[in-house]
Amino acid sequence: MKNNNEEYKQWLNDLKQRIRNSQIKASVHINTSMLELYWSIGADIVEKQAEATWGSGIIKKLSADLRREFPHLKGFSETNLRYTKRFHLFYNQKNIIQHQVGAISHQSIIGEIENKQRTLIQHQDGAESKTSNIIGAVPWRHHIEILNKCKSLNEAMFYVQKTVENGWSRAVLMHFIEVDLYAAQGKSITNFFRLLPEPQSDLANEIVKDPYNFDFVTLTEPYKERELEDALTENITKFLLEFGQGFAYVGRQLPVKVGESERFIDLLFYHLDLRCYVVIELKATKFEAEFAGKLGMYVAAINHQRKKPSDNPTIGMIICKTKDNIEVEYSLESSSQPIGVSEYQLSKLLPENYKSALPSIEEIEEGLKV
């Protein structure tokens, strides 16, 4: 037992020194330094088999000792120390990622994840991806939400990447985890790989979700189809501008001249990363084959009337209530324009008699002051 106590004291002294060193570096790289420290603490707890060596109460004791030594620092609660262990174990799942890079290093989480996720962030010019500080760029509280709610490393890295790319707050991250944005990736049906060059086809597929979940649409029942289409237009615009990466709003019900007829496009965006226009058609009904033909005409019209020589080819998106995947695939196979098709979901429709019972924004703000 004496040897165990001496070993624990030596480890504690080593941790104290690491914490002091971390404090020095923190003024320059606060978040990265803190995560590296948490990674190393978690690694020690795992590798030293601390709970088996010193008993089940060792994490509580370690917390008390560290907080006594560093009373002005947060992050050494028993709960948080247990998260450092989970943090290390979760991002160090050999059975999932070892095959990508061979043997796993235990030196620095930043260097480790850079090696493992070398293909994570793709640049439009096709150059080798850069993953510098992708883990360190995500705040610790974000990581805790990811640890609690993600079922796999791939899912976790998806949300880490999106957080870094889009600068998501923790509330936004939680929202997208709750609506399962990860599961929505890649379910849309497109012909982008056939009609667009790489890497534009890859990036175009990344921006299309299926389904789009509009759980913040507050329609009242009964509602008319036109009211639903208006609500969808308003909320897909809000969704793309607030949470989508690179979307710039151009117009709604935008007129385009096609021969002697004037047609109206539901929504037109310009995507800054794709460097192309994105035409969106919203349908409050099941997908029909003629939707693809009509959208293809709009895409061609934008290419002729708005696209500049420096722009990439315009792409189209149909967002509809439901779709038959085989019908969609046949329709897109016959199309000469790059088009994707996704579904939408309305998870909350408020009955009319509930509307009056909802508090106003002013009432909510007033309640928060109490």
Domain membership of residue 340 (yes or no) is yes
The confidence score (pLDDT) of residue 16 equals 84
Closest CA to 67 of 77, 82, 52: 77
With a pLDDT cut of 70, the percent of the chain lying above it is 70
Q: Answer yes or no: do 30 and 146 share one domain.
A: no
Domain membership of residue 301 (yes or no) is yes
Q: Answer yes or no: do 323 and 195 share one domain.
A: yes
Domain membership of residue 113 (yes or no) is yes
Q: Answer yes or no: do 80 and 99 share one domain.
A: no
Residue numbers of the domain that contains 29: 2-90
Q: Is the pLDDT of residue 100 over 50?
A: no
Does residue 318 contact residue 190 with C-beta atoms inside 8 Å?
no
pLDDT band at 314 (very low <50, low <70, confident <90, very high): very high
3-class secondary structure, 23? helix
Closest CA to 80 of 60, 50, 108, 96: 60
Q: Answer yes or no: do 198 and 331 share one domain.
A: yes
Q: Is the pLDDT of residue 353 over 70?
A: no
Domain membership of residue 358 (yes or no) is no
Domain membership of residue 34 (yes or no) is yes
Measured distance CA(131)–CA(127) in Å, rounded:
12
Q: Answer yes or no: do 112 and 211 share one domain.
A: no
pLDDT in tens, 216-268: 444 554 555 666 667 777 777 777 776 566 888 898 889 998 888 899 999 99
Measured distance CA(237)–CA(319) in Å, rounded:
12
Does residue 291 contact residue 255 with C-beta atoms inside 8 Å?
no
Measured distance CA(91)–CA(84) in Å, rounded:
11
pLDDT band at 307 (very low <50, low <70, confident <90, very high): very high
The count of structural domains within the chain is 3
Q: Answer yes or no: do 248 and 323 share one domain.
A: yes
Q: Answer yes or no: do 115 and 197 share one domain.
A: no
Q: Is the pLDDT of residue 336 over 80?
A: yes
Pick the range with the lowest mean pLDDT from 103-112, 283-292, 318-327: 103-112
Mean per-residue pLDDT of the chain? 75
Domain membership of residue 30 (yes or no) is yes
Q: Answer yes or no: do 297 and 216 share one domain.
A: yes
The confidence score (pLDDT) of residue 62 equals 92
Four-CA torsion 320, 321, 324, 328, nearest 10 degrees: 0
Domain end marker among 50, 65, 90: 90
Residue 301 is part of a domain; what is its CATH number?
A: 3.40.1350.10
Q: Answer yes or no: do 114 and 227 share one domain.
A: no
Measured distance CA(319)–CA(321) in Å, rounded:
7
Tracing tokens 């009904």 back to the chain, one arrives at 285
Measured distance CA(316)–CA(296) in Å, rounded:
7
Pick the range with the lowest mean pLDDT from 208-222, 242-256, 296-310, 329-343: 208-222
Domain membership of residue 361 (yes or no) is no
Q: Answer yes or no: do 335 and 205 share one domain.
A: yes
Q: Is the pLDDT of residue 365 over 80?
A: no
CB-based burial of residue 172 (10 Å sphere; 0-12 exposed, 13-18 middle, 19+ buried)? middle
Closest CA to 280 of 312, 332, 319, 225: 319
Q: Answer yes or no: do 282 and 134 share one domain.
A: no
Residue 329: CB atoms within 10 Å: 15
Measured distance CA(156)–CA(181) in Å, rounded:
11
Does residue 165 contact residue 190 with C-beta atoms inside 8 Å?
no
Residue 23's alpha-carbon distances to 33, 65, 74, 214, 367, in angstroms, are: 8, 17, 12, 44, 39
Measured distance CA(7)–CA(14) in Å, rounded:
11
pLDDT (average), residues 328-334: 88
Q: Is the pLDDT of residue 189 over 70?
A: yes
Domain end marker among 90, 111, 137: 90
Q: Where are the beta strands (DSSP E) in the chain?
A: 189-190, 212-213, 220-221, 247-258, 261-271, 276-286, 315-322, 339-345, 350-351
Q: Is the pLDDT of residue 14 over 70?
A: yes
pLDDT in tens, 268-280: 999 888 899 999 9
Peptide bond connecting 222 to the previous residue in cis, omega within 30 degrees of 0: yes
Domain end marker among 156, 178, 200: 178
Q: Answer yes or no: do 98 and 32 share one domain.
A: no
Q: What angle do CA 183, 187, 192 make, to 5 degrees?
A: 135
What's the pTM? 0.51
